Amino acid sequence: MTEAFFSDVAGRVPFGGLGGDEDVAYRVYDPDRIVAGKRMEDHLRIAVCYWHSFAWSGADVFGDGTLDRPWLQDSASLDAARRKMDAAFEFFTKLGVPFFTFHDVDIAPQGERFSDFARNLETMVEEAEKRMAETGVRLLWGTANLFSHPRYAAGAATNPDPAVFAHAAAQVRHALEATHHLGGQNYVLWGGREGYESLLNTRLAHEERQLARFLTMVAEHKRDIGFEGPLLIEPKPAEPTKHQYDHDAATVHGFLARYDLLDEFRLNLEVNHATLAGHSFHHEVAYAVEHGLFGSIDANRGDEQNGWDTDQFPNSVDELSLAMYEILRGGGFTTGGCNFDTKLRRQSIDRTDLFHGHIGGIDTLARALLVAAELHERETLSAARASRYADWDGELGAGILEGRETLASLERRVSAGEIVPTGRSGRQELLENRVNAAIWSVS
């Protein structure tokens, strides 16, 4: 019998419904409820992240750890890594979520040399495999941490030193194989320090070539080992570096197209990374869906007053409903899901606060799903979009798009008075009202 770390929560978090008054119960998330033809659990594919929830003590740049995390004591040992894993799987099971996510360094102690780390990782992958078999919890994605160790201060693949590139390559080889071994559905690459602090010492185009070479190697290795899940790039504009190359969905799209990597990569979009890039999350998801690049999401949000990645639990149904609507419009998640790359506030020191954070966030996503399904099924937005663009299927519109018209031919027709634009309303307020009506009425 392993020790219980979350003994304040007796068993699996129940569904209590909107009228329920239990704090540790779901109000909206009801895994078996059918929404738009599918179980809620299969739509949302919720994942809990290992790093913020189990590997973080609450330390920030101004102060030490605050959180009650007994499994973090003596964290350099394999025994501590096992205890941390027990805590994590106890939590996943009690929360009742189907997936988790991890970085290599979250589960395995680093040791002295790279070969120690590789061995520790192998041991902890075996441990994870056992616990996954016992609990039925699966891996949404794995990734390598290529940003915490001092060697990565100037980037990993984009480091001025090819020896650091080599080290990052070695690490990704192991993390990708670990993900494959554990049946991971995707592999994520977040370019944490792939950017610059100062242009004074940076060769921009050279670093871009390095990054492209690195990603090409990852794609080749993925094929070599027969890993079938997509590789997901997680865009973010800045933090920890001043400028990061994977700025936003459109920037990554252009990069992938330039280096012929579009077949291998898709996107893992994070709510607050969109905010930091000056976009709505709705924009980032819509961009990815429309360009066939959508993969998965990190559902954590920022704070309006902070310009950094606060990784808070999602709590805005308004914000997530529109993103969820685009996801449904694109056919829903396939290999992706909703990952909680979330961390508690430093004052939320109790272990049970992890439940409150996740339960609230999961309910918010569930409610957003209900709104999105309503908008999708009633064609609230799609019918309006279709009629707005209908003339592009007519003689003039199709002629332009299919190349039958030229500047000269159009000029002739306009001059002859044959083509005369007529104004039409974009109906933005009406559509906003309809979205609100769905948010207010679904149950």
Residues at the interface with ligand XLS (CB under 6 A):
103, 143, 188, 190, 234, 236, 270, 298, 309, 341
Site residues for Ni ion per CB under 5 A? 270, 298, 309, 341
**For ligand XLS, which is the closer residue by CB, 53 or 143?**
143
* Angle subtended at Cα 286 by Cα 398 and Cα 396, rounded to the nearest 5 degrees: 10
**Helices 317-329 & 353-377 angle (0-180, nearest 10):** 50
What size, in residues, is the chain? 443
How far, in Å, CA of 149 to CA of 130, rounded? 29
Rg of the chain, C-alpha, whole Å: 24
Distance CA 425, CA 428 (A): 8
Q: Where are the beta strands (DSSP E) in 251-336?
A: 265-270, 294-298
**Residue 249 in contact with residue 269, Cβ under 8 Å?**
yes
* Calpha distance 8→148 (Å, rounded): 33
Report the residue number, 30 or 270, with the smaller CB distance to ligand XLS: 270
169 or 438: whose CB is closer to ligand XLS? 169
207 or 270: CB nearest ligand XLS: 270
What three-state secondary structure class fits 91?
helix
Whether the CB-CB separation of 326 and 284 falls below 8 Å is answered with no
Enter the tokens of residue 417.
């008075």
374 binds, among ligand XLS, Ni ion, none (CB under 5 to 8 A by kind): none
CB of 270 vs Ni ion, minimal distance in Å: 4
What minimum distance in Å lies between the beta carbon of 410 and ligand XLS?
47
Residues with catalytic roles: 103, 106
**Which one of Ni ion, ligand XLS, none is in contact with 175 (Cβ closer than 5 to 8 A by kind)?**
none
Of the two residues 319 and 374, which places its CB atom closer to ligand XLS in the complex?
319
CB under 5 to 8 A by kind: which of ligand XLS, Ni ion, none does 143 bind? ligand XLS
**For residues 309 and 319, which CB has a smaller minimum distance to ligand XLS in the complex?**
309
- Give the Å distances, CA to CA, from 161 to 28, 145, 157: 51, 18, 9
DSSP string for 104-127:
HHHHS---SSHHHHHHHHHHHHHH
Give strand ranges (E) for 383-438: none
**133 class by beta-carbon count within 10 Å (0-12 exposed, 13-18 middle, 19+ buried):** exposed
Distance from C-alpha of 224 to C-alpha of 136, rounded to nearest angstrom: 28
Residue 122 backbone phi and psi in degrees, to 5? -60, -45
User: Residue 283 binds what, of ligand XLS, Ni ion, none (CB under 5 to 8 Å, by partner type)?
Assistant: none
Q: How far apart are CA 128 and CA 132, in angstroms?
A: 6
Looking at the Cβ atoms of 266 and 376, the one nearer to ligand XLS is 266
Nearer to ligand XLS, 319 or 341 (CB): 341
CB 48 within 8 A of CB 97: yes
Burial of 352 (0-12, 13-18, 19+ CB in 10 A): middle
Residue 253 CB burial class (10 angstroms; 0-12, 13-18, ≥19): buried
Tokens (6 digits) for 57: 């003590």
Asked if 343 and 52 touch (Cβ cutoff 8 Å), the reply is yes
C-beta nearest to ligand XLS: residue? 190
